[in-house]
């Protein structure tokens, strides 16, 4: 995308210009989240794979945006985004 710009060829008395527009492919999930079952008090890891590394990810529980804490940990390695939930309780379902 950063290559998008106007390019020109100059031969002294004349110049030719062209505009280059680089289109990014749409973001998508290469692997979606999977349902999990875990025993109360344990830890669970939810993960998904994205089509582009470094894509910003927001994790939600229902409509509530999750924040990193002792309970929730977020990891992102290349195209894989992970949510770790510690000390799982029935209210986490």
Q: Count of residues for the chain?
A: 93
Q: What are phi and psi of 92, to 5 degrees?
A: -80, -15
The single residue listed with the structure tokens 């349902």 is 35
Q: Tell me what pLDDT residue 24 has.
A: 85
Whether the CB-CB separation of 30 and 79 falls below 8 Å is answered with yes
Fold entry, domain 29-85? Immunoglobulin-like (2.60.40)
Kindly report, residue by residue over 47-88, the tens digit of the pLDDT. 999 999 989 999 999 999 999 999 999 999 999 999 999 999
Q: Report pLDDT digits (tens) over 12-42.
A: 999 999 999 999 888 999 999 999 999 999 9
- For residue 25, the model assigns a pLDDT of 86
Token pair for 34:
């999977």
H helix intervals, 1-93: none
């Amino acid at each position: 995308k950063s290559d998008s710009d106007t390019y020109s060829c100059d031969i002294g008395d004349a110049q030719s210009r062209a505009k280059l527009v680089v289109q990014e492919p749409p973001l998508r999930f290469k692997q979606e989240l999977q349902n999990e079952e875990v025993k109360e008090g344990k830890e669970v890891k939810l993960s998904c794979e994205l089509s582009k590394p470094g894509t910003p990810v927001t994790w939600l529980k229902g409509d509530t945006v999750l924040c990193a804490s002792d309970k929730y940990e977020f990891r992102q390695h290349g195209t894989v985004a992970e949510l770790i939930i510690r000390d799982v309780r029935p209210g986490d379902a």
